[in-house]
A and B are shown apart, each in its own frame.
Chain A
Amino acid sequence: MIQPFTSDPLRWVAEDGRPIRELPDRFTPAVLRELHHEMVRAREFDKKLVTLLRQGRTTFYAQSSGMEATQVGLARSIRVGHDWVWPYYRDHALGLAMGVPLLDLISQCLGTNSDTCRGRQMPHHFAAQRQNFVSISSSIASQVPPAAGNAMAQKYLGVDELTVCTFGDGATSEGDWHAGMNMAGASGAPCLFVCENNQWAISTNLKAQTASETIHIKAKAYGMPGYYVDGNDIVAVMEVLSHVAEGVRAGNGPALVECLTYRVGSHSNADADAEKNYRTREEVNAWLARDPITRVERLLDHLGEPVSAEERADLISAVHREVDEAVLRAEATGQPDWRIMFEDVYADTPVHLREQAAFLRAEQEGVRA
């Protein structure tokens, strides 16, 4: 029933919330409600981060609004803390749903002493060891060959893990993407590639990105199956990803899943005029109508278990409180000082770096070196 290389995205729930395939038993109203909450949490996190940007408390943010079903659905389709994830920079809904503490995400965005990445990277490029959520690189597609290698190591070690590698549609144009896909295909390593196809790479539309009709068909060239899913339908995302992940884990080799979704906001805060510059209000509106959160709400309506207005308002204010608290807690830890700049460059700090650190100490503390 779950076939690769379909011409239309696989979907379970229509935009008006009616199931168009039999709803699998595991999607009880209670579970759907949990998924809904998780998606709302990610959405509200986005909103709060945009506020923090406006307040000048952080400097960069790339929203995932509109893409929650893909990311939350992915988190629910793997074994968190057991499988390994090589994410990209838009994946904090994925991180949140995988259980990365919200305080850690906020701390990274604020670059405070509570940042587990120690203020080294720009905002929302986090890493989470407990979740095997490997550090995010801004360099597009540079995570793809290492993900293949991570999976090759899993195969070599004979462990029952798999590697997940996520990326946007734009990333599939990079040489690294093709190199990594080919490596995984040739080695038969347990790598699950997930394209979060939100259809725009900054201002470049998918049509200008590739002459290929879809992303998933590119899998054929690398000798792996490619699946096409409605990325705004969390039931579809979870059904397909868990099915495919099982196959990858069972030793069937790598697979590519394309989740068709949409980035509703701008690319980042550096791209505030998305609509004025390169896309139309009509297009955005058409995708707003397919919103993944609304879709689950409609499904719950359809099942006779609606989310009440009050419940939703409580949920939203709880997230806001959670973020506000995290911001205060993170800021209270202060900013890392100059010292940490010289740590983690190498396993052992070589003499030239120790000298440079001494130089900076003298400069910062007004002491003679």
Chain B
Amino acid sequence: MTATQAKPQAATGTGETRTLTLIQAINEAMAEELARDDRVVIFGEDVGARGGVFLATAGLQAQFGPNRVFDTPLSEASIVGAAVGMAVRGLRPIAEIQFADYMGPGFDQIISQAAKIRYRSGGQFTAPLVIRTPSGGGVKGGHHHSQSPESYFAHTPGLKVVMPSTPYDAKGLLKAAVRGGDPVIYFEPKRLYRAAKGQVPVQDYTVEIGKGAVRREGTDLTVIGYGGVMPDAEKAAQALAAEGVQAEVIDLRSLVPWDRDLVLTSVAKTGRAVLVSEAPRTANFMGEVAYVIQEELFDSLLAPVMQVAGFDTPYPYVQDKVYLPGPNRIAAACVRALNY
């Protein structure tokens, strides 16, 4: 079996595993992809000698040399635009944008070039590339280091958008992104970089883009989230379990495409859905999930679909923790759905 055909395997499978943090898993995925395919190149601001501001690329330049892993000038338009050009010419670029908040200067390259070149050229030219970027709050970064801009990108046809919350998914999704045929925006919930630890197989594996995961099984309602909010969603479910309520918890993992089947099957079973994200509420990607749930399951819903999201304010510095939907806010929304 070639690497590109490798089947996703469960973390609990028979293969050997060990504990990694989310950022270690990301680092390993890149090291292995660099070793597997010499078309893979990694670049961005400070990813070389410094190893990235969060150290996601630590050691990669030393191991693979400055032709494979290199620093660029400070320009997101150049980074993304160059990634598009390299991908069109046959490389497999992994570009790092230092913070998701700084995708702005590269936005036009992402939406006008990366997202559209396959379509507008009738498939003659394609840009399979990965843009990795730390996103989300909880690190006292103020609004320029805490934003969750995934909805902008989910709104642009031609891009795939993923956000892992576990080391296993982080590694498997990144590998799938590198090996796939499309531009993938790969968001990394920065507050989980070191907080999320988990079992990761030693053997090569990928996690299919577009598939969610059930984190906890339950019958009374479905809590759906992705990225940085997942540990809090699980905490909320634990608190509810102590009260005798069994919440099913789903991690979307991929926003585009997203796992409608998994979500609809679960909500059809439980009759209630609570959608959790930390991005501002208005035009939040979860609005799409709510829309599909009501369209498909209107008759079987026992309560309106509830949304727990960030507030429609720029991300604040001092109120960093208040802004985020923590376990209590999530649990309160669940109770509302249950008591409806």
Contact = CB atoms under 8 A, between A and B. Distances in A.
B311 A203 contact: no
B322 A204 contact: no
Interface residues of B, number: 39
B140 A122 contact: yes
B142 A125 contact: yes
A204 B101 contact: no
Interface string A210-222: 1000000000000
Given A270-B53, A341-B313, A360-B311, A173 B75 contact: yes
Interface string B36-69: 0000000001101111010000000000000000
A99 interface: no
Interface in A221-259: none
A121 B53 CA distance: 20
B283 to A, nearest CB: 12
Contacts of A277: 49-51
B181 interface: no
Contacts of A208: 71, 73
Q: Which of B48, B53, B313, B328 has the most CB of A within 10 A?
A: B313
Contacts of B281: 352, 356
A203 B50 contact: yes
B282 A352 contact: yes
B319 A341 contact: yes
A271 B53 contact: yes
Q: Is the interface of A mostly helix, strand, loop or mixed?
A: loop
Nearest to A211: B73
B141 interface: yes
Given A203-B49, A270-B53, A338 B319 contact: yes
B46 A202 contact: yes
A368 to B, nearest CB: 11
B46 A203 contact: yes
Interface string B313-326: 11011110011000
Contacts, number: 119
Given A139-B101, A139-B144, A171 B311 contact: no
Contact of A138 (B53, B142, B282, B329): B142
B142 A121 contact: yes
B144 A204 contact: no
Q: Which of B46, B75, B318 has the most CB of A within 10 A?
A: B318
B318 A111 contact: yes
A261 B45 CA distance: 22
Contacts of B78: 173, 175
A356 B312 contact: yes
Interface in A138-184: 138-142, 170-171, 173-176
B241 interface: no
A48 interface: no
A342 B314 CA distance: 9
A306 interface: no
A299 to B, nearest CB: 35
A360 B322 contact: yes
A139 B142 contact: no
Nearest to B98: A202
A265 interface: no
Contact of A119 (B76, B311, B313, B318): B318
Contacts of A352: 281-282, 312
A335 interface: yes
A122 B317 contact: yes
Contacts of B10: none
Contacts of A175: 75, 77-78, 105
Interface string A299-327: 00000000000000000000000000000
Contacts of A335: 318
B105 A353 contact: no
Contact of A204 (B71, B76, B143, B319): B71
A171 B311 CA distance: 31
B311 A120 contact: no
Interface string B299-340: 000000000000111101111001100001100100000000
A367 interface: no
B74 A363 contact: no
Contacts of A139: 101-102, 104-105, 144
Nearest to A117: B317
A209 interface: yes
Nearest to A110: B318
Interface in B97-135: 101-102, 104-105
A201 B94 CA distance: 21
A19 interface: no
5 contacts: A140-B102, A141-B105, A173-B73, A174-B76, A341-B322
Interface of A: 59-60, 111, 119-122, 125, 137-142, 170-171, 173-176, 201-204, 208-210, 270-271, 277-278, 335-336, 338, 340-342, 345, 352-353, 356, 360, 363-364
Interface of B: 45-46, 48-51, 53, 71, 73-78, 101-102, 104-105, 140-145, 281-282, 311-314, 316-319, 322-323, 328-329, 332
Given A121-B317, A204-B74, A341-B313, 4 more contacts: A120-B317, A121-B144, A122-B144, A270-B53
